[in-house]
Structure 1
Amino acid sequence: MSEKEKNHKITTSSGIPVYNYEDSQTAGPRGPVLLQDYFLHEKLAHFNRERIPERVVHAKGSGAYGTFTVTHDITKYTRAKLFSEIGKQTRVFLRFSTVGGEKGSADSERDPRGFALKFYTEDGNWDLVGNNTPVFFIKDAKKFPDFIHTQKRDPYTNCKSATMVWDFWSLNPESLHQVMILMSDRGTPFSYRHMHGFGSHTFSFINKENERYFVKFHFKTQQGIKNFTNAEAAKMRGVDADHAQRDLVEAIDKGDFPRWDLKVQIMTEEQASNYKFNPFDVTKVWSQKEFPLIDVGVLELNENPDNYFAHVEQAAFAPAHVVDGISFSPDKMLQGRILGYPDAQRYRLGANYEQIPVNRCPFAANNYQRDGAMRIDGNGGSKPNYFPNSFDDTFADENYKQPAEPLQRDVYADWFDRNGENENDHYTQAGDLFRLMTPEDKANTISNIVGSMRGISGEKRDLIINRQLCHFFRADISLGLGVAQGLGVDVTQHATGMVHPN
């Protein structure tokens, strides 16, 4: 038998050739199935386990491999090796996603879009896990489970609930800036190729002199921004629920490789300590007039995964994964994600999830972690599983030590109000965003808000609407008036706080 014939035999998972792939072994042509037909058991048992737990958020996504190429010198800000010289290329994997929907939801739902990048660098994998928006709904990770519960299904009806959504937003005005983006046409991108990406959080750069700079990451699409209107998005949900997935795969297959320009904003430690608002508040943006965008490089997606499950579904990202020259900030949401994301991946994929090819560092990875389900790298062989030891020459490299982070004097551990003094302006940037919109965008945003808020029901309906209208009026009078009129609210009584929907 030729080698080719041997390689084409159907076998069990343990490599044993299968005699009959389609018929179960039975006692006679019409008799009962025999327990000894192991391959029948293997097929059914594996089939029952084909679905790993879907992500709690960002369940439905699309992904592709590509390259990041440095086009401008930023080495005065960071010593990260992937930025070390102009022309340097780093392989990347990018996963796009919706946030609140399940794995079978439609790509054109009104929702933020995930923008999660994995850079395979020689100093390890750097995960920049952001969205297509520069801000988020909340500023403290302690609120994250509650927020996501409102975006999922009502525990009584098992349906999506506008009442839950707007009740939460109206009780948490810090969400207003992100709500304005979501309710504009930016909440329904035409495709993943036609939207920007952001790191969203504030991170830090560290240069060769151990100087720290704070940084925000912006990926600007070269394809141009293109959005659905609400009506177009609703239509696409019925025409092709997988429109964004199909669009990405087909574009790359035909060589129309999508590209984004990476730009950064830089803030010094001194500027951060004296800034007019908390620069680590993820519900706020930094002024691009004060902190202009600096060109860095070009991201290109040019390779579709050959198997969706192996690459896209098993891709695992964590903001905890930063490399030398890139670090964190006091952003409270980021600090919570440093804990929450790796924990979610261990639950979903197992303790050894970083050995899965899409997640594996292509360069050396040495540690004393051992065992656990699905260990596939030899488990360290006969080498010691403890450190220090007398048998190998591994060491902790002091060259990768980060500079000490200065802390405020006389700081006491406590539970501080995230919206305390100088932290509670939720309206200026949200209003500025609305005032920057074109008349058409303003009209669409108001229409989208009204359409969503009409779904609020129950005995608390008037209370929730009244509370949210107060936020809209504080952001911009014309915004508040437009939403109130769309809901049939008597705004003449608004000054007394008594707004009654008709």
Structure 2
Amino acid sequence: LQPETLHNVMWLMSDRGIPRSYRTIEGFGIHTYKLVNEEGKSTFVRFHWKPAYGKKSLIWDESQALTGRDPDFHRKDLWQSIEAGDYPEFELGLQLIPEEDADKFDFDILDATKLIPEALVPVEIVGKMVLDRNPDNFFAETEQVAFCPANIVPGIDFSDDPLLQGRIFSYSDTQRHRLGGANFTEIPINRPVCPFHNNQRDGFHRMQIDTAPANYDPNSIGDNWPRETPPEEGGFSTAPQPVSGVKERLRSPSFAEYYAQPRLFWMSQTPVEQRHIIDAFSFEVGKVTRPYIRERVVDLLTRIDPNLAAGVAKNLGIELTEEQLNRELPKPVCGLEKDPALSLYANPDGNLKGMRVSLLAADGVSLKSVEEICSALHKEGVHPQILAPHMGSVNTEEGKDLLVDGTLSGNPSVVFDAVIVPEGEQSIQTLLMNGDAKYHLRQAYRHLKAIGLPGDASEMLEATDLPQDMDDAGLLTPKDTKALMKPFITAMKQHRVWAREPKALDFGA
């Protein structure tokens, strides 16, 4: 009943809704702020965080499996990356719109349900955030953090974005309730790191002892201290702006177009991503018990794109009418039909840093093969992990001990980005009889991951019933390990073997 939410829901139903890692999430503010220069001139701004590790996602079945097998997957991934020195990095970018250009768009830039396409206003990178330390105490340093959009510094100011205006005061109220009182800003993780003075006094959980005799401004008994720093001395000030018109309690008519931006998002996706959006809508709406609500959702989708609506309708057993199939579609956003920046995979970044590859091994594994694999992966910033039927170590065919990182039973393929079975005849014969090893490979295949089976390891194909598909660029069975690594790394850089997906959907793990 609120079609303005469609844009948000489209993002949620896309692959962006199931990110591969906190390190590979692209984030941006939905609110428009202002940057104010020394002369008091304002420029509208939207803030972006661009992940240095690239944009990557899970796939639906994989995310479902992770929920049960490793529910702390994302938090653990972030922790392990920081501990390993693969510090997550995010570049800070700005989209800048001069105040005089605000009306040049065919949508209201103060509408929080709309984004500003990067094809129209490029993101300018101005800085970087690096997460280089894990919390010493998770509760004290993370759970008690109190973010609030009202917290700004001189040079940044609020716009008339109505949702932002509501959040400016409501977030502080939320933190008072969540953290036990008005003095949550004095909790160590929320306390300013620079010296500060104010007239706040008393209340629940006061953590600062104030000795000033007065708590008001101006005062004489405290030599008029503390007092607010005037703008001319570096204190905060609000940028001046002319105001005219009639004050009314209503939603701005400029917010009334709901379908153009969801369509822009849909048209910007690759065919693979579009298929995933149809599947996600079908999965979620299929759980709705009231038929008329299912029909209402599909009707809204007909206003975005007939192919999207038809795909979901077919899966839900809904027959579209001629009127629904022939609706007039929304006009392109400022003439823009699509924007590759809205897609995760339109322009693969090929960044492998911090990714993990499982190496399935048992006694008799070839140490030479393992070392060749690890050397090639380390050069790409990828972490190989040895999985075996047991913890401790395995004895290699060269007679040396190889430390094991985890067991096959305790480390499913869903927590890795790709898998290799190193050479070694005895090791392979053991793995051919190991159900966990075979399940690991079958799941990796189903989840479109690169699989390397050099030399005799190719026997795992028949043991696991994996299709012997010569056209599958991610199912590699070269004559030896040396011939494996270059095409294997190339396949990993595509993030997934998308061409395999139609076959993998019919392949039971």
Coarse TM-score class (shorter-chain normalised): 0.5 to 0.7
Give the conservation status (yes or no) of the 8 Å contact 1:352–1:375. yes
Q: Does 1:401 align with 2:237?
A: yes
Report the counterpart of residue 490 of structure 1 in structure 2.
319
Report the counterpart of residue 416 of structure 1 in structure 2.
250
- In structure 2, relative to structure 1, the CA distance for the partners of 1:262 and 1:382 (3 Å cut) is closer
Deviation digits for residues 292-339 of structure 1, max 9, x if unmatched?
111201110001110001110111011001110001111111111101
Counterpart amino acid of 2:280?
Answer: N
Q: Give unpaired runs (5+ residues) of structure 1.
A: 1-170, 498-502
| Aligned match for 2:24, one of 175, 194, 197 | 194
Cα deviation for residue 228 of structure 1 reads 1.1
Deviation digits for residues 112-151 of structure 1, max 9, x if unmatched?
xxxxxxxxxxxxxxxxxxxxxxxxxxxxxxxxxxxxxxxx
Give the conservation status (yes or no) of the 8 Å contact 2:259–2:304. yes
Equivalent-residue separation in structure 2 for 1:269 and 1:403 (angstroms) = 12
Q: Does 1:327 align with 2:157?
A: yes
Equivalent-residue separation in structure 1 for 2:151 and 2:173 (angstroms) = 13
Give the conservation status (yes or no) of the 8 Å contact 1:355–1:376. yes
Equivalent-residue separation in structure 2 for 1:359 and 1:341 (angstroms) = 14
Report the counterpart of residue 95 of structure 2 in structure 1.
265
| Aligned match for 2:138, one of 277, 286, 308 | 308
Q: Does 1:481 align with 2:303?
A: no
Give the conservation status (yes or no) of the 8 Å contact 2:231–2:237. yes
Report the counterpart of residue 198 of structure 2 in structure 1.
367
- In structure 2, relative to structure 1, the CA distance for the partners of 1:304 and 1:495 (3 Å cut) is closer
Give the conservation status (yes or no) of the 8 Å contact 1:218–1:263. yes
Normalised to the residue count of structure 1, the TM-score between the two structures is: 0.61
Equivalent-residue separation in structure 1 for 2:263 and 2:103 (angstroms) = 25
Counterpart amino acid of 2:239?
Answer: P
Report the counterpart of residue 16 of structure 1 in structure 2.
none
Cα deviation for residue 383 of structure 1 reads 2.8
Normalised to the residue count of structure 2, the TM-score between the two structures is: 0.61
- In structure 2, relative to structure 1, the CA distance for the partners of 1:479 and 1:265 (3 Å cut) is same
Cα deviation for residue 398 of structure 1 reads 2.8
Equivalent-residue separation in structure 2 for 1:404 and 1:334 (angstroms) = 18
Give the conservation status (yes or no) of the 8 Å contact 2:40–2:240. no
Equivalent-residue separation in structure 1 for 2:98 and 2:325 (angstroms) = 45
Equivalent-residue separation in structure 1 for 2:48 and 2:66 (angstroms) = 28
Report the counterpart of residue 334 of structure 2 in structure 1.
none
Residues 38-117 of structure 1 mapped to structure 2, 5 A cutoff: none
Report the counterpart of residue 281 of structure 2 in structure 1.
449
Counterpart amino acid of 2:268?
Answer: L
Report the counterpart of residue 367 of structure 2 in structure 1.
none
Cα deviation for residue 495 of structure 1 reads 4.1
Q: Does 1:432 align with 2:264?
A: yes
Report the counterpart of residue 254 of structure 1 in structure 2.
84
Cα deviation for residue 375 of structure 1 reads 0.9
Q: Does 1:357 align with 2:188?
A: yes
Deviation digits for residues 396-440 of structure 1, max 9, x if unmatched?
313232331222x2x22222134x3x4222111111111111111
Give the conservation status (yes or no) of the 8 Å contact 2:42–2:98. yes
Deviation digits for residues 169-189 of structure 1, max 9, x if unmatched?
xx0100111111100111111
Q: Does 1:341 align with 2:171?
A: yes
Equivalent-residue separation in structure 2 for 1:319 and 1:351 (angstroms) = 17
Q: Does 1:470 align with 2:299?
A: yes
Counterpart amino acid of 1:412?
Answer: V
Deviation digits for residues 169-216 of structure 1, max 9, x if unmatched?
xx0100111111100111111111111121221111001111100001
Equivalent-residue separation in structure 1 for 2:286 and 2:163 (angstroms) = 31
Counterpart amino acid of 1:355?
Answer: E
Equivalent-residue separation in structure 2 for 1:342 and 1:479 (angstroms) = 40
Identity across the alignment (%): 38
Equivalent-residue separation in structure 2 for 1:384 and 1:394 (angstroms) = 8
Deviation digits for residues 12-38 of structure 1, max 9, x if unmatched?
xxxxxxxxxxxxxxxxxxxxxxxxxxx
Equivalent-residue separation in structure 1 for 2:89 and 2:239 (angstroms) = 34
Report the counterpart of residue 394 of structure 2 in structure 1.
none
Give the conservation status (yes or no) of the 8 Å contact 2:286–2:294. no
Give the conservation status (yes or no) of the 8 Å contact 1:210–1:402. no
Counterpart amino acid of 2:246?
Answer: Y
Equivalent-residue separation in structure 2 for 1:359 and 1:196 (angstroms) = 25
Equivalent-residue separation in structure 2 for 1:375 and 1:395 (angstroms) = 20
Cα deviation for residue 470 of structure 1 reads 1.8
Equivalent-residue separation in structure 2 for 1:229 and 1:475 (angstroms) = 24
Equivalent-residue separation in structure 1 for 2:7 and 2:255 (angstroms) = 14
Q: Give unpaired runs (5+ residues) of structure 2.
A: 327-509
- In structure 2, relative to structure 1, the CA distance for the partners of 1:283 and 1:428 (3 Å cut) is same
Counterpart amino acid of 2:231?
Answer: E
Q: Does 1:220 align with 2:50?
A: yes
Kindly indicate whether structure 1 or structure 2 has the higher relative contact order, using CA contacts under 8 Å at least 6 residues apart: 1
Residues 127-146 of structure 1 mapped to structure 2, 5 A cutoff: none
Residues 378-393 of structure 1 mapped to structure 2, 5 A cutoff: 378=209, 380-390=210-220, 391-392=222-223, 393=225
Counterpart amino acid of 1:454?
Answer: G
Counterpart amino acid of 2:250?
Answer: F
Cα deviation for residue 241 of structure 1 reads 0.8
Counterpart amino acid of 2:33?
Answer: F
- In structure 2, relative to structure 1, the CA distance for the partners of 1:493 and 1:356 (3 Å cut) is same
Equivalent-residue separation in structure 2 for 1:496 and 1:258 (angstroms) = 45
Counterpart amino acid of 1:472?
Answer: L
SS at match of 1:276: coil
Equivalent-residue separation in structure 2 for 1:492 and 1:267 (angstroms) = 42
Cα deviation for residue 496 of structure 1 reads 10
Equivalent-residue separation in structure 2 for 1:186 and 1:496 (angstroms) = 28
SS at match of 1:303: coil
User: Over alpha carbons, which structure has the higher Rg?
Assistant: 2
Equivalent-residue separation in structure 2 for 1:444 and 1:315 (angstroms) = 35
